[in-house]
Amino acid sequence: MILNISGRTDIVQYYTKWLLNRLDAGFVYARNPMFREKVTRFELSPKTVDVLVFCSKNYKPLLPYVARIIDKFNTYFHYTITAYGKDIEPGVPEIDQSIDTLIALSEIVGKDRVAWRYDPVLLTRKYTIARHLETFDRMAEQLAPHIDRCIFSFVDMYRKLLVNMPEIEPFTFETMDALAKGLGQIAILRGIYLQTCALKGDYSAYGIHKSGCVTPGILSRANHIEFKSLRFKGMRNNCGCMEWHDFGTYNTCPNGCKYCYANKNPELAKESYKLHDPCSPLLLGILNDSDIVTKCKERSLLKPMDNSVWLDL
């Protein structure tokens, strides 16, 4: 199975100690977001986990421990760095700091395991098309030698986004096309493989590829492994990814990003963070007597390998 760490919260930035404890323990619990009393147990072993796919806006807390993680697990790292400042992403490091951390991560794991995510792309009076292209180009010039690819998407206009970010300007066909064209031209100039994430539009005319961001091809090349021939439904509309599991928890990310789909509001996330115990098998809170724990029975998606040797973390 593929484990995503995490699309629901930034485990790497805020919960690294807990994550390391879970890797040492060899298992983790995750509550069902819809049915809170239902808990899934995931075994954290190379025999059960095909790839750990990380996603974060700040890998600095994890850097001292990355080497021993990649020694045991197949991995891939999504690093989100956008054009926004503290007005949009109050808990995220400054752009230059993030660039330095990505480069440090890439030097440890290799560029084939690092994807730069420039998403979500959104527009305001401050963050215009011109500003996006200027910032993207500056970042692309520095990051190109250290990444496998760049992935971008346009922001999804969730209802709560309009509440949390009233200054946002809706996209039109023309503004999306102009941004895609500009990003594509920059990516070609900088030698970056640029692709979309779960977008309807076709921007191949600008050198932009339409693909999933967690695919057998990407993970195979990064880790020198081979997957079985299987069909994947994707994780949402227009998604070309393999299915994965996520043991993160919604409403627990203190980053406070205004566009966040995983938090109802920043204050709720801050309150939830107070309930975190690094020693608990759950990211938030503890296991209750009334909880129903079920072991995940996902099978490996990899082709069998002979004489495999599993290393202890």
Phi and psi angles of residue 267, each rounded to the nearest 5 degrees, phi first: -65, -40
In this predicted structure, what is the pLDDT of residue 194?
98
Mean pLDDT of 272-287: 95
Is there a domain that residue 303 lies in? no
The count of structural domains within the chain is 1
**Predicted pLDDT of residue 235:** 67
pLDDT score at 203: 95
Which residues, in sequence order, are bridge partners of residue 45? Answer: none
Average pLDDT score over the chain: 93
Assess if residue 79 is contained within a domain: yes
Confirm if 122 and 259 have CB atoms less than 8 A apart: yes
Q: Which of 5, 3, 29, 2 is nearest to 16 (CA)?
A: 5
Joined together, the tokens standing for residue 66 give: 């990355």
Find the range with the poorest average confidence among 134-148, 223-237, 274-288.
Answer: 223-237
Does residue 287 form part of some domain? yes
* Element holding 181 (H helix, E strand): helix 173-190
Q: How far apart are CA 174 and CA 146, in angstroms?
A: 32
How far apart (Å, rounded) are the C-alpha atoms in residues 101 and 310? 29
Give yes or no for residue 257 having a pLDDT over 90.
Answer: yes
Neighbours of 21 (CB within 10 A): 16
Is 304 contained in some domain?
Answer: no
| 44/95 Cα distance (integer angstroms) | 33
Q: For residue 312, tell me if it sits in a domain.
A: no
Residue 310 confidence (pLDDT): 35
pLDDT at 20 over 50: yes
Mean pLDDT confidence for 132-152:
98
Q: Which two tokens stand for residue 65?
A: 């421990």
Among 100-114, 126-140, 293-307, whose mean pLDDT is lowest?
A: 293-307
Q: Per the domain annotation, does 301 fall within a domain?
A: no
- For residue 309, being part of any structural domain is answered with no
Tell me the backbone φ, ψ of residue 63, rounded to 5 degrees.
Answer: -50, -45
Does any domain span residue 302?
Answer: no
What would the pLDDT profile of 23-55 be if each residue is shown by its tens digit?
Answer: 999 999 999 989 999 999 999 999 999 999 999
Residue 31: strand pairing partners: 39
Which residue range(s) make up the domain with 198?
2-295
